[in-house]
Amino acid sequence: MSRFSRVASRVTVALSLTCAVSAAAAPTQGEGISADCAAIPQAGELTVEQVPEGVLTQDCDLAGRIVVHDGMGVAVPGPGETVRLEVLSAYGTEVHGFSLGVTEKGSIFYDLELSGDAAAEPADTKKAAADSARVAAPSACSDNIMLPWAWEDFDYYEWYVGDGGMPAALSQAAAATAFKDAINNITGGYNDCGIADTIDAGHRYMGTSSFEADLDNKGNCTPRDKQSTWDAGDLQSGWLAATCGWTTNRGGSEDLIEADVRYNTTDHDFTNDPTSSCTAHYDVRAVGTHEAGHVFGLDHAPSGHDNLTMAPGIGPCDKSARTLGRGDMRTLEAIY
């Protein structure tokens, strides 16, 4: 199927299902407001209140500054680009995405979502709530929901493995294999629902790199380095992993230009092969499949759809997210 046919098909599906694309739409390119630059702090993180929508980034030299919302932060990208932060949390506590874009003429726009993360609750309470939610939710193969998505399809996702430690103390080579498997679960439409793979998406592993994923230890998306990297390191304590994705917003498109993934190995332990003796380790491939879903544009499944791969949390030793549910598959087919 041609790219034009896929786009036409996606539009038809989206309209017939009234599925809203989750990415923030760029405002009219001529819009923009002059900011009171003297009122914007010259150092440190900024808030969306201090940098409201429509502010022209060039007026106050905002490019590269971190703007935070509800505990999530991203660096202001260049004109014509949007950056989106997506977070996977432990047990299914509700953490969602935060998107900041800059039009070609330099004005800022947002897609703001509240998290509702119950970070103060004990782990046992979170686990019990997550288990109850999964029991109450439809099974993965019967859940036919159309998920929101954040950007358009693209030809190939080219990615690297960064240096430093890897999840589950894997070597770079073993980590690359696990990450490939996870990405293949998305591009190959791996499922147990009997759904044939019609997903026209691909990726290419480019090798190891001295570059790191563009996230700091708070989980903020830092300025992009023009290389998509998977690695491990420090994030906020409740986060298992995070994805920063950068897209163009020129001409109304949402085409991916970079996506970085980081596992949180400072606060969580991972395993490459959960067994019956597993107690508190998170599956590398399950987490990676969820993050690869974000790389290829999928947003989180809403509350009540906790058995899909794109549910916003994964419990310890749980491998189920390696296998896509009907809603995950249906949405990928609509995009690709």
Residues in the chain: 336
Where is average pLDDT lowest: 16-20, 175-179, 226-230, 322-326? 16-20
| H-run or E-run covering 287 | helix 284-295
Question: Could you tell me if 288 and 182 are in contact, meaning their C-beta atoms sit under 8 angstroms apart?
Answer: yes
**What's the pLDDT tens digit per position in 204-219?**
999 999 999 999 999 9
Percentage of residues of the chain with pLDDT beyond 70: 83
- How much is the pTM? 0.89
**Residue 184 neighbours by CB under 8 Å, 6+ apart:** 190, 203
Tokens 């916003």 -> residue: 312
DSSP single-letter state for residue 169? G
Q: How far apart are CA 279 and CA 230, in angstroms?
A: 25
* pLDDT value of position 274: 92
What is the torsion angle, in degrees rounded to the nearest 10, for the CA atoms of residue 296, residue 302, residue 306 and residue 312? 60
The CATH superfamily assigned to 3-335 is Collagenase (Catalytic Domain) (3.40.390.10)
Q: Any bridge partners for residue 270, and if so which?
A: 282
Tokens 């009907």 -> residue: 326
Burial tier of 49 (Cβ tally within 10 Å: 0-12, 13-18, 19+): exposed
Q: How far apart are CA 217 and CA 233, in angstroms?
A: 8
* pLDDT value of position 290: 98
Q: Which of 311, 310, 305 is nearest to 293 (CA)?
A: 310
| H-run or E-run covering 160 | strand 157-161
| H-run or E-run covering 256 | strand 256-264
Task: Place 13 in a pLDDT band, splitting at 50, 70 and 90.
Answer: very low
Rg of the chain taking only CA atoms, in angstroms: 19
Residue 106 has pLDDT above 70, yes or no: yes
**What's the pLDDT tens digit per position in 33-78?**
666 888 899 999 999 999 999 999 999 999 999 999 999 999 999 9
Q: Any bridge partners for residue 229, and if so which?
A: 160
* pLDDT value of position 26: 58
* pLDDT value of position 1: 39
Residue 229 has pLDDT above 90, yes or no: yes
Q: How far apart are CA 192 and CA 307, in angstroms?
A: 13
Q: Any bridge partners for residue 110, and if so which?
A: 100
Task: Place 252 in a pLDDT band, splitting at 50, 70 and 90.
Answer: confident
Check residues 189 and 12 and name the one with the higher pLDDT: 189
Burial tier of 11 (Cβ tally within 10 Å: 0-12, 13-18, 19+): exposed
Phi-psi region at 92: left, alpha or beta (left = phi > 0; alpha = psi -120 to 50): left
Q: How far apart are CA 323 and CA 96, in angstroms?
A: 21
Check residues 18 and 64 and name the one with the higher pLDDT: 64
